[in-house]
Structure 1
């Protein structure tokens, strides 16, 4: 901006230049620096783009791996369920087959019992009761032996009790009774026979346990 000041003594006007001086502030941008920063940006953007793309591919790979693992787990679960169902069917089949085997052997014993009952009815009208009785007795004994044979074929054995030391794993004490003939703590009498099948006790033997002669027997006393 030009201003006209008062004229000097020589009469000529003086002109003052009010325009600002060149800005030497350190904040002013250097065109050369701007060009250098701009030239670096494309490389940084490209690197970031590559990194993002790599991460995206990694995520896609993890998703695919997860889906594959889920499919494997579902297949394994289905296989286990099929195995469980097959085992259940096989267990039921064996259970039914086992019952059939036992019942088949029992049916033969039932037939023998029916014949023994017929013989008992004939005893009432027999002209020789003694002979009919012996026939009936022999038939019953035969049925008993046959029944024992069938039990043995199934692995069922009677438990030895009388005279044996009391064993709570095999025997159930009903009472204690003094005895001079049996050692105290041994089985004096078998009330009900027990049976085992292999290592398993099907039924404990109910027994009377011998006590010292001075002791009094009582159904409430336990061995």
Structure 2
């Protein structure tokens, strides 16, 4: 035999290729599985899309949760700061009064008692003016002789007599104060009660 007449045996790769092609042809002819495979592929794609959507929503939710947590922490810090410095204006108003008290103490060393008392009265007046003008504090004045009111007065002592027609304030034992229109501290009083 000549070289040309020799049969060349196909290689293993060629045989595998032939088998694969035949299988593909057979599978292509079998149409009973194709709709199911198509549906499975569609469902897998849909599942992947849903997984991505869920992951995006999860990330978004985590970011929003972190934002809310940061916002809550910022509000707490701002509230703490507001509480800590809430009285700053009041303190600034009271510092000059403290300065006047220091001057009054220095004046007490001069042995001028009348001048010292006048200085303390001026400081008291200055303090009340600041508290009334800037802060809404108002003293309950001229209550002796008025009708007793449990909303404004606290009875510390009672005196019964025929000379009273109604419960009447006889003496002011401790001054009462309003904060704007609200009673801040009740005046402690002695009350005359009809018998």
The TM-score bracket by the shorter chain reads 0.5 to 0.7
Q: Hey, which of these two has a bigger chunk of helix by percent?
A: 2
> Take 2:57 and 2:65, find their aligned partners in 1: how far apart are those partners?
12
Residues 209 and 54 from structure 1, CA distance in 2 versus in 1: closer, same or farther, beyond 3 angstroms? farther
Say which of 84, 96, 100 aligns to 1:112: 100
- Counterpart position of 2:126: 146
Post-superposition Cα deviations, 1:179-211, rounded to whole Å, max 9, x if no partner, equal 644723x65544333334346654344344553
> How far apart are residue 41 of structure 1 and its match?
6.8
Say which of 135, 151, 158 aligns to 2:139: 158
**For the Cα contact (< 8 Å) 1:161–1:207, is it kept in 2?**
no
Are 1:93 and 2:81 an aligned pair? yes
- Counterpart position of 1:42: 31
**For the Cα contact (< 8 Å) 2:147–2:166, is it kept in 1?**
no
Pick 1 or 2: higher relative contact order, CA cutoff 8 A, min separation 6.
Answer: 2
> Take 2:40 and 2:184, find their aligned partners in 1: how far apart are those partners?
73
> Take 1:104 and 1:91, find their aligned partners in 2: how far apart are those partners?
21
Higher-Rg member (1/2): 1
**For the Cα contact (< 8 Å) 1:166–1:209, is it kept in 2?**
no
> Take 1:41 and 1:63, find their aligned partners in 2: how far apart are those partners?
32
Q: Which moved more, 1:198-207 or 1:146-155?
A: 198-207
Q: Which runs of 5+ in 1 are unaligned?
A: 1-39, 124-131, 215-223
> Take 2:140 and 2:45, find their aligned partners in 1: how far apart are those partners?
75
Are 1:54 and 2:61 an aligned pair? no
TM-score, normalized by length of structure 2? Answer: 0.64
Aligned length: 163
RMSD (Å), alpha carbons: 3.2
> Take 2:141 and 2:65, find their aligned partners in 1: how far apart are those partners?
50
Residues 81 and 50 from structure 1, CA distance in 2 versus in 1: closer, same or farther, beyond 3 angstroms? same
Are 1:192 and 2:174 an aligned pair? yes
> Take 2:102 and 2:165, find their aligned partners in 1: how far apart are those partners?
41
Q: Which runs of 5+ in 2 are unaligned?
A: 1-28
Post-superposition Cα deviations, 1:77-115, rounded to whole Å, max 9, x if no partner, equal 222222223323333333343333222222211221122
